[in-house]
A and B are shown apart, each in its own frame.
Chain A
């Protein structure tokens, strides 16, 4: 049961957070952490578990955001209706990009995802139906609860928490399913995995499509909370960067890695933006860049891997004297 102790303590703290820290800023910050944790956990499925580094995940995020806002702006429907549309569009794009590139080395996949993200951003910026450069807005005054337009961040907090738990649950299930075993084998050595009969390309594609669909849900939630989406906030390459770096900082390929990364980086960014104002945006990304380089250079496994290793060392240090004493016994 011990392995469930820390997650349940963490869960209680997360549920209680907006009641303990109840100012609007703190509640909004909490909601944003959870939102980015959803997106980063979704990225983690393909980036961490499958080891295919997507730099264009914002395209799925944007699909969700635009579908949610489009449902309201064009059909006066609840933004919720847009969620399945966004998922379908994202999974379709993932298939189109993934089928040719996942057969090739990982570099091609990363390059293709960047190109797709930029391509979609350019097309959307020039499409009047999608609001071109201005973007689409959601309901200004909520008609009913299904518009999901609240002034307080509290309802969003618990909504995001529910979706995050769902995402983590799905990831956990995948990790322990046949697919999870395939993915780990492929990540360690694709050639060996293939020779043992693991369907490498297909499994990677499945991971990519699952990840794309979940990311699109995060995008829809983001648009609902902010009430609008434009090419910069819904399709800018920097959103991909944030998602990716959160997962990598916390620990790519670990269940709770993205959550840890989001809990560190979202407050860091909000606080630095508050302190430094508009000029801070540049500096924030200088710091982001430096963090990514340092992780890649010294700790590709992320913070959680480092913590696991330190724990393991401490555990060994505690066992060592006992073992030494035993060897003297006879």
Chain B
């Protein structure tokens, strides 16, 4: 295999790790409450803008920007849960989809109104520049983003499967009435799930902002990436999202390299529709 191909695959894996992180947020909420957050891509977008604002105001890099983005988005997640989600969850499907979709528009165009439609970006060498390992050129920003995203996604998985908080959340997802009888408050657990999901998503946004263009409508594309990842990985499954995220990162990079950058989204969207046709329960999902 030529070096350049390896380089493309490594780049894809690093991007894929970030995809996996923000898709974990979507899959967590979907699996736990059977709600698809159509504003999910815009949560990523907000994370990017938080990183951008932190940079323009304080000149600080992702070391400050990323935790702050996680914090801001986690707060937003809690607010959104109590103000909107808790009520529309009981409503008809139309209300559920309209509610989160309206939220997406509200967030996207508030940012558009405030920052304008210009493409923004963080300075290229904010996180180290590029270095060479075994003949591969790797951008420090992408490496940092990929590594942190991988660690946080694995951390999320451990949180859900190995801690008492995780067990309580899964209990609510399984049967919220039974969980209530065991002394677990479904409301609190679901708010916590929204905080974790939105926080992880904001973190992913701040990480991706170090090397991605920043624009109010970026969430539209990223939301579809998250849908593809989740439907590929099976809804509710964080390990599934991880595998699918890495896979999609690689597929996207390879198709950009082999057939042209314009077609990478076309490949990913077609893949999504193909999966809906043949295996809607995802790669790891059960029938």
Contact = CB atoms under 8 A, between A and B. Distances in A.
B91 A300 contact: yes
B98 A296 contact: yes
Interface string A103-123: 011111011101110110011
Interface residues on A, range: 35 or more
A282 B109 contact: yes
A323 interface: no
Contacts of A289: 102-110
Given A118-B269, A282-B109, A283-B109, A51 B94 contact: yes
A288 interface: yes
Given A115-B272, A118-B265, A292-B105, A252 B110 contact: no
Nearest to B115: A282
A188 B110 CA distance: 35
Contacts of A177: none
Contact of B95 (A105, A108, A286, A296): A296
A296 B106 contact: no
Q: Which 7 pairs across A and B sit closest by C-beta, in order of nearness?
A: A292-B102, A289-B105, A289-B106, A296-B99, A285-B109, A293-B102, A300-B95
A115 B91 contact: no
Nearest to A100: B277
A297 B110 contact: no
A53 interface: yes
B93 A112 contact: no
A97 B269 CA distance: 13
Interface string B258-287: 000011011001101100110010000000
Contacts of A296: 84, 88, 91, 94-96, 98-99, 102
A47 interface: yes
A126 B261 CA distance: 12
Interface of B: 30, 34, 36, 38, 83-84, 87-88, 91-99, 101-110, 112-113, 117, 220-221, 223-224, 227-228, 231, 262-263, 265-266, 269-270, 272-273, 276-277, 280
A108 B280 contact: yes
Contacts of A295: 98, 102
Contact of B94 (A53, A105, A115, A294): A53
B41 to A, nearest CB: 10
Contacts of A47: 94
Interface in A273-306: 279, 282-286, 288-297, 300
B110 A119 contact: no
A53 B97 contact: yes
B105 A110 contact: no
Nearest to B103: A293
- Provide the main secondary structure of the chain A interface: helix
Interface in A89-103: 97, 100-101
Contact of A51 (B92, B102, B273): B92
Given A100-B276, A286-B106, A53 B98 contact: yes
Contacts of B84: 293, 296-297
Nearest to A103: B280
Chain B CB within 10 A, most for which of A104, A237, A286, A294: A286
Contacts of A119: 266, 269-270, 273
Contacts of B231: 108, 111
Chain A CB within 10 A, most for which of B84, B113, B276: B276
Given A108-B276, A288-B105, 6 more contacts: A106-B97, A107-B97, A116-B273, A118-B224, A292-B99, A300-B95
A204 B117 CA distance: 38
Nearest to A299: B95
A55 interface: yes
Contacts of B102: 245, 288-296
Contacts of B269: 115-116, 118-119, 122
B245 to A, nearest CB: 17
Given A122-B265, A285-B109, A289-B102, A101 B276 contact: yes
Contact of B262 (A126, A252, A286, A292): A126
Contacts of B227: 111, 114-115
B133 to A, nearest CB: 34
Chain A CB within 10 A, most for which of B87, B94, B108: B94
A100 to B, nearest CB: 4
Nearest to B87: A297
Nearest to A292: B102
A123 B262 CA distance: 9
A237 B220 contact: yes
A39 to B, nearest CB: 17
Interface string A60-84: 0000000000000000000000000
Given A122-B265, A282-B112, A292 B101 contact: yes
Nearest to B42: A289
B280 A104 contact: yes
A97 to B, nearest CB: 8
Contact of B106 (A55, A107, A108, A290): A290
Contacts of B96: 296
B113 A283 contact: yes
14 contacts: A55-B38, A100-B280, A108-B276, A111-B36, A112-B273, A115-B269, A237-B220, A248-B98, A285-B109, A286-B109, A293-B103, A294-B102, A297-B95, A300-B95
